Structure 1
Amino acid sequence: MSTITINTPDCIRSRKALTYEWLETNGLGGYASSSILLCHTRKYHGLLVANLANPSGRYVLISKVEDSLVRRGEEFYLVSHQYPDFFFSGGQSYLEQVDIGVCPKFVFRVAGRTLEREIMMIQGTNSVILKYRLPDMDEPCMLRIKPFLAYRSIHSLSKENTYFRGEISEIPEGCRIAPYEGMPAMYIQVSGDFQCPMFGDWYKNFEYEEDRIRGYNWREDLYCPGTITIPMDEKRKEIYLCFTTDPFPEPLQKVWNGEWERRDFLEKHRDFFVQSFKKDRENIESLFRAADQLLIRTPHGRHAILAGYHWFYEWGRDSLISLPGLTFCRGLMHEGREILKTFGDFEQQGLFPNFFTEDEKENAYNTVDASLWYFWAVQQYLKYGGDENWVHQHIWPVMKRILKQFLAGTIYDIYVDERGLLHAGSEGIRLTWMDAAVNGLPVTPRWGYMVEINALWFNAVCFSHELSTRYGDQEFALQELIPLARRSFRETFWVGRGAYLGDVSRQGILDEAVRPNQIFAVSLPYSPLDSADWNGVVKRVQSDLLTPCGLRTLDPAHPDYRGNYNGVMIQRDRAYHQGTVWPWLWGHFGEAYLRVNRNSRKAKNILYKQIINFLKNHLGEAGLGCVSEVFDGNPPHRPNGCISQAWSIAELIRLLTLLDDIR
């Protein structure tokens, strides 16, 4: 069983401890997360964050707790808080070790005694249980817990207000509080005897350092209904405390044990892919555990992929790129099929949503490549043993609708021209993955003919021709389009003097900036390039863009290159696709690298060592056990963005499956 451990004094006893973040999830899009000190650094941190149907969205219900142990009249605090001009270190003085395994575990040394706190969400419920254990208890003591309630969207902050209802009512084995009309009530359950909180008050000006750095509001008021007091002695060395929107009728220990057994079963029954890794197995298990956290059921009951924790929800492009690595490569064919099928239900005018709103009523369709990644995802489904008859029945009709729309022309100036190339967008419109904008204007203007869009288009056309031939469906005369599109692709994008592909062609002018988008012309199952051209593309990307953390989005020699992703939103957006490193691109770079090296064992060993070194260095920083969204383009390539990004994790898993014979 893999465990990531933080136990060195320089990590725990310094401000560095605030940069280590842990993540628990419930399979519904909800989560619990904070720094290892339980001192929040983001408004997105919370002890119980629920993804609700009504009101729709993710809400921080329980922000945190302030827990302490009272022994011989002395109180020892286990958490830390940041207030204006004052850092309450609290538990930092007693924290000895943090283990990220089946669930986060915090080990304290208090007054010569060991105290353990574990935090676990219960799958399929909006619930979190805290387990406290004093293994070497030798005299009575008291556990005091102050819960802090926020009851607000993850994107906002709470302030003291007169609408908050702080009344507490007792229930069997706990108490109940219903702060706002229209929001779910909160039930607090405790195993065994306890004293219910009676007198509540607002605690003001908790500060969130990361939000301050990122240019957001960073101060919050939280409501505490009072102190829960729980006696402990030699006969009661374990305490279970639960926050939930739906109280459990069974004992909390039974609920905890049931969830533990479910997770332990998953850990022990990873498919042969993980089992076959030996000395590197722990890193791969952590990667798989992170993958599990990104597969959710929405409040509407759909299987879905959450693009990234903490702030991203469900994105079309991200979901389809992530789908093979998160599902098919791991043997989760049913979940992957359901997501593919569901996407077909959302198709409109040949397009899929760029992102899904949490109420699913006003999804945004401003993307051209999500539809094309759909074809690639189907290819991956079949590659990993998918049911071809199922594809014919449920997916092929969707693919044909997309092809019809693109060939006829659809919204956002998306159409196939007389050269067989796909045009998309107009000035100011952002339809590709490089879509950052400042003051409404694209940072990387990408409209016209984009290299990866046309590589994806060519792949989709070839794959559709393959299926139409196999199914005896000759509705599209695609065999004539294929050689035309292949010839036009090279004529449009090839930079002869550099032996690589430019990025965007518009009005006959090619942007020759070296970007990673060209790599898809080599990595996709059907390449629009002759094999003689593959090596030049891969070498250029490798020499100018490859880092130990993934691919840069722009050549450092380019005048628009920005090597650090930091600062307020405008500064970050200007760097987002102008040099910032993205780990997800490693998947397609690796596939292209293997293709030009004919899948040689030497090439596989090189890639494998790079990935394992990356995982060893990164899984123990930022989001513990997770893979970050982005990294600085400049060394030492500091992680940033979401602490757990779906396509970062998925594409590393998919690439590892391509290295199947060197485990």
Structure 2
Amino acid sequence: MIDIGFGPQVCAELTGGASREWLVPDGRGGYAMGTVSGLRTRRYHGLLVVAGETPASRRVGLASLDASVLLPSGAQVRLGAHEWSSGDVDPRGYELLEHFALVDGLPRWRWRIGDTVIERELAMLPGRPCVAVVHRLVCGGPVRLELAAACTWRDAHGERRADGPTPRMEPVDGGAVIEGAFRLAGPDWTPEGQWWLGVHHREEAARGLPAEEDLWYAGRFAGQLARPGDTVSVLAWADQLDQQPPPATEVVATARRRNRRVVAAARPADSVEATLTLAADAFVVRTGQAPVDVVAGYPWFGAWSRDTMISYEGLFLCTNRATEGRELLRSYAATLSEGMLANTADTGRVEYNTVDATLWFLHAVSRHVTVTGDTDLGDELLPALRGVVDAHLAGTRYGIAVDPADGLLTQGGTPGTALTWMDARVYGVPVTPRVGKPVEINALWINGLAGLAELTELAGQDAGELARLHDRAVTAFRKRFPAPTGWLYDVVDGPAPAYPLGGSPHHDDDLLRPNQLLAWSLPYAPLEPDEATLRRVAAGLLSPLGPRSLSPDSPGFTGRHRGSPAERDGGYHQGTVWPWLLGPYVDACRRGKLPVDELFTGIEAHLTEYGLGSVSETADGLPPHGATGCPFQAWSVAELLRCRRTR
């Protein structure tokens, strides 16, 4: 594991300490999450955030556990941190932090109060919505420690205010049950029951979202720290409320051992791969609805089939989790309808609204069989995969169909839909609708046909028709997509700007975008990369954290992915950097015999800059390429791990 630790110049200063976030997942889609400084900057931050039937239906329970130290002199020193709607930050416990570190992926803080040093460790019980917070006297003392439990019970995407119902508190042995939903337990519990009004979340304010909430001060725990090694611990859990979990120190030890096993099982080549392996583990979950699933990103995303399939090789095959991956592929195959893979939205509804998720699914199954030799799975899924091809030949939802004129895949589109991964909409209008024949969709189609032909032959069946479909599409691709600009068209045969959807004449979009990378990077890519083209693409798109989604000299380029939801969605694919695209870029460079080792420097440094030990969803297209979006993103981690492990 790489060394992730900070001293007082980061911890005790909000610009650094509140902008770096840690994550401890529970393996079910829930988590504990916060900042190095301890300041809650997002409405999603909390020590017990509980997933429902789907990872997206999370609820915040225990928001914070604020420590206060009572010294022998009678002085009280508060170690918590909150920002208020007035603009004040009080208390300012982070100013006493002398060190923060991730140890085996678990956060550890150290506060110094003169000669007294107190350490906090936090872990979640693997597979359960249960958090353990352990405070230990390192040196100095004796002191008395009080821990104030600030609670709520609300949707993670919202707020709760004091003008609504007062939270229900039921006293139980050693603590309380809050709202019948989660339980607190620890030493010397004293119930309180009052609102803390106007807690401010600066990151939500920056994103143009409601930024204030009220928290319920449920009560406080207390204990003596008489000599070094003494502990005061609190547990909070949201299942089996009548059953006490293991002691908090045991929960921490169990989580640490598990994290070490996860890393060791992947046999990483170096400390960066070890860190990425543990980061990848956060996204693999078991929920109430699926035996194995993938959380697209923390803290606000649930499961999305496109993200899952793009991430598949990195999350499962590069970490020696093929058995779990097999479960996942089988469960997703069961969602196929009219040749399309279900895209489970964050609302929990099953929707069929992507053109590429199914094609990435073909790729994931092909890679699984190729890497593991699991031809039994290939044989089992072969009829369903062939059904995908048949449905695309016949035509399926949204005008997705193979064009009989050239064998390429087109998407007719309907008003308000955006079916590729560039799917952002502003006020219901797609920012990049990409109607026609997108370049990466057809690269994936060609790749899928070749992979399926190979699976068919492994099953001892005739793959002649698939080979003919593949060869025809490759011929058409090589003719249609090279553009006079020196790179590939992003979309061909789309409606001209002056015409409505489905209009004529057709328009070929030559804006420089990274989607073309798949035409060179996939295992059965339709084109062989050449150095001149890759250098043109790199000159316009490459940043230290990966390719931009649009070159800076293109109309509509947006260099900062900031502001209100509409502003952010408007720039989501208009120049914003997407780290996951570094994977296809590295693969294309390798196939083109270009050096790649220096491509990892910036993004590896990023592992200590935003979501600690992980890779962000996006970054600004302009320097200094500040990270944006989810701090912990599945396909960003998966693709970096995959392309590093295959060098």
Quick check: 2:121–2:252 contact (8 Å CA) kept in 1? no
Q: How big is the shift at 1:380?
A: 1.7
AA matched with 1:241:
V
Structure 1 residue matching 2:52: 3-state secondary structure: strand
**Mapping for residues 277-316 of structure 1, pairs under 5 Å:** 277=270, 281=271, 283-316=272-305
Q: How big is the shift at 1:358?
A: 5.9
Q: Tell me the residue number matched to 2:344.
A: 355
Structure 2 residue matching 1:32: 3-state secondary structure: strand
Q: Tell me the residue number matched to 1:562.
A: 558
Q: Tell me the residue number matched to 1:406.
A: 392
Q: Tell me the residue number matched to 1:271.
A: 266
386 and 27 in structure 1: CA distance in 2 versus 1, 3 angstrom threshold = farther
**Mapping for residues 543-562 of structure 1, pairs under 5 Å:** 543-562=539-558
**Mapping for residues 153-164 of structure 1, pairs under 5 Å:** 153-161=155-163, 163-164=165-166
The superposition leaves residues 263-295 of structure 1 with CA deviations (integer Å, 9 ceiling, x where unpaired) of: 33334x2433x1x33xxx2x3222111111111
Q: How big is the shift at 1:357?
A: 4.7
2:640 aligns with one of 625, 631, 652:
652
Quick check: 2:436–2:491 contact (8 Å CA) kept in 1? no
- Distance in 2 of aligned mates of 1:235 and 1:497: 69
Percent identity, aligned pairs only, is: 32
The superposition leaves residues 601-655 of structure 1 with CA deviations (integer Å, 9 ceiling, x where unpaired) of: xx4xx4223214421x211111111100011111111111000100000000110
AA matched with 2:569:
D
409 and 377 in structure 1: CA distance in 2 versus 1, 3 angstrom threshold = same
622 and 497 in structure 1: CA distance in 2 versus 1, 3 angstrom threshold = closer
Quick check: 1:446–1:504 contact (8 Å CA) kept in 2? no
Which sections of structure 2, spanning at least 5 residues, go unmatched? 496-505
* 2:429 matches 1:441: yes
Structure 2 residue matching 1:230: 3-state secondary structure: strand
**Mapping for residues 84-483 of structure 1, pairs under 5 Å:** 84-102=86-104, 103-139=106-142, 141-161=143-163, 163-171=165-173, 174-179=174-179, 184=181, 186-190=182-186, 194-234=187-227, 237-245=230-238, 246=240, 247-248=243-244, 250-267=246-263, 269-272=264-267, 274=268, 276-277=269-270, 281=271, 283-357=272-346, 359=348, 362-393=349-380, 395-418=381-404, 419-428=406-415, 429-474=417-462, 477-483=465-471
539 and 2 in structure 1: CA distance in 2 versus 1, 3 angstrom threshold = closer
Q: Tell me the residue number matched to 1:79.
A: 80
TM-score of the aligned structures, taking structure 2 as reference length? 0.93
AA matched with 1:548:
P
Quick check: 1:327–1:336 contact (8 Å CA) kept in 2? yes
**Mapping for residues 447-596 of structure 1, pairs under 5 Å:** 447-474=435-462, 477-507=465-495, 508-529=506-527, 531=528, 534-596=530-592
Q: How big is the shift at 1:412?
A: 0.7
- Distance in 2 of aligned mates of 1:217 and 1:413: 38
Quick check: 1:51–1:299 contact (8 Å CA) kept in 2? no
Q: How big is the shift at 1:134?
A: 0.5
621 and 143 in structure 1: CA distance in 2 versus 1, 3 angstrom threshold = same
Q: How big is the shift at 1:475?
A: 7.7
252 and 92 in structure 1: CA distance in 2 versus 1, 3 angstrom threshold = closer
378 and 402 in structure 1: CA distance in 2 versus 1, 3 angstrom threshold = same
The superposition leaves residues 456-485 of structure 1 with CA deviations (integer Å, 9 ceiling, x where unpaired) of: 111112222233233233487223322321
Quick check: 1:630–1:641 contact (8 Å CA) kept in 2? yes
Quick check: 2:38–2:80 contact (8 Å CA) kept in 1? yes
AA matched with 2:365:
V
Which sections of structure 1, spanning at least 5 residues, go unmatched? 598-602
AA matched with 1:373:
W
- Distance in 2 of aligned mates of 1:42 and 1:380: 38
2:625 aligns with one of 618, 625, 637:
637
Q: How big is the shift at 1:526?
A: 1.5
Q: How big is the shift at 1:56?
A: 8.2
Structure 1 residue matching 2:18: 3-state secondary structure: helix
- Distance in 2 of aligned mates of 1:99 and 1:441: 44
Q: Tell me the residue number matched to 1:624.
A: 612
- Distance in 1 of aligned mates of 2:199 and 2:122: 22
262 and 82 in structure 1: CA distance in 2 versus 1, 3 angstrom threshold = same
- Distance in 2 of aligned mates of 1:478 and 1:405: 14
Structure 1 residue matching 2:323: 3-state secondary structure: helix
TM-score of the aligned structures, taking structure 1 as reference length? 0.91
